[in-house]
Structure 1
Amino acid sequence: MKKIALFPGSFDPFTNGHLETIERGAKIFDEVIVGVFVNTNKKSFFTAQERTEQIEKTIAHLENVRVVSQETDLTVTAAKKLGANFLLRGIRSVKDYEYEKDIQAMNHHLAPEIETVFLLASPEYNHISSSLLKEVLHFGGDVRNYFPPAVYQEIVKKRDSYEK
């Protein structure tokens, strides 16, 4: 059986930390599907289509990774539809672990056949989040080193269009 992992997230915006998790996951799994999902608790900076396109450009070098966008299903429901038997999640801190542990427990209740795999973030990424980077960016801070170049270019375009 192929090992297929779904890496779900809002990815708004997509960071180098997300990319690192995907690249590491691509070495472990036969296929990684990046799922651009809607987080109902967050206000989006980019549309789902914009995020999907940015991620596709960024992961083009990874032959066993593809991107899908979905807005209506639970993560485990989407995983089943996609044929994924694993959920891939990144952990940056104890706070992330506590949050992810509860989600994993619910996902296991809903779909015990789907296993969740956690990868610990590398030290250079364990302090960043999309929300924090958006806040720093909003106040003019330099965050370019935390984003893939294609994503950062789109952030600058969008920021500049807001300022006009």
Structure 2
Amino acid sequence: MSAKRVGIYPGTFDPITNGHIDIFKRGLRLVDKLVVGVATNPSKNPMFTLQERVKMVDREARPLAEAAGVEFEVVQFNELLMNFAERVGASIIVRGLRAVADFEYEFQMTGMNYQINPDIETVFLMADPRYQTIASRLVKEVARYGGNIAAFVPKTVAEEVVEKVDYKPS
């Protein structure tokens, strides 16, 4: 019997978007277990607390993993990605790419990660064209100005974002 293939899908997920969910679903096809690593990343000035984001990701992703028959876990982390990958026993890092700007950043990150541990592969999944323009940062900005974010995030997430921003037109 071959060893279990463990992958991680790291991110801030503030909030989780339909684009994240698309990459998550597609990443499930590549592994026996997928660990979603929710990063602290205070430099991004998150709208949701770490605990809220972990809960949100678990709620939105767990049913998809269960339907796919893939073992699943959501873990918060505040450490070097490669250390986190080693700690959870991952051999694959799943990343989504939307545009050239993503590629440039991910290219540098992957090169650095390879220098740290060449046994952990990074797999890039191109964003579905429907989701290429979705970014958590933009979802929050649209919501802050009272825009409709229903097409960008799951229904429950949209409600949570709207509740957080409490938009009041001037």
The verdict on a shared fold, with TM-score over 0.5 as the criterion, is yes
Give the unaligned 5+ runs of structure 1: none
DSSP 3-state at the match of 1:59: helix
Query: Quick one: which amino acid aligns to residue 76 of structure 1?
Result: M
RMSD: 1.3
User: Any conservation in 2 of the 1:57–1:150 contact (CA below 8 Å)?
Assistant: no
Cα separation, 2, equivalents of 1:149 and 1:69: 23
Aligned to 1:141: 147
1:100 equivalent in alignment to 2:102: no
Cα separation, 2, equivalents of 1:158 and 1:138: 9
1:34 equivalent in alignment to 2:28: no
Aligned-pair identity in percent equals: 40
- CA drift at 1:99: 0.6
Q: Which moved more, 1:131-140 or 1:79-88?
A: 131-140
Q: Which runs of 4+ in 1 moved over 4 A?
A: none
Aligned to 2:80: 74
CA distances 1:123-158 after superposition (whole Å, capped 9, x unpaired): 010011111111111111111111112212211222
Alignment of 1:5-154 (within 5 A): 5-61=7-63, 62-63=65-66, 64=70, 65-71=72-78, 73-154=79-160
Query: Quick one: which amino acid aligns to residue 41 of structure 2?
Result: N
Query: Quick one: which amino acid aligns to residue 70 of structure 1?
Result: F
CA distances 1:44-86 after superposition (whole Å, capped 9, x unpaired): 1001100000111111211222211112x10010010000011
User: Any conservation in 1 of the 2:17–2:154 contact (CA below 8 Å)?
Assistant: yes
Q: Which moved more, 1:33-42 or 1:77-86?
A: 33-42
Cα separation, 2, equivalents of 1:46 and 1:40: 11
Aligned residues: 161
1:156 equivalent in alignment to 2:162: yes
DSSP 3-state at the match of 1:41: helix
Cα separation, 2, equivalents of 1:22 and 1:66: 12
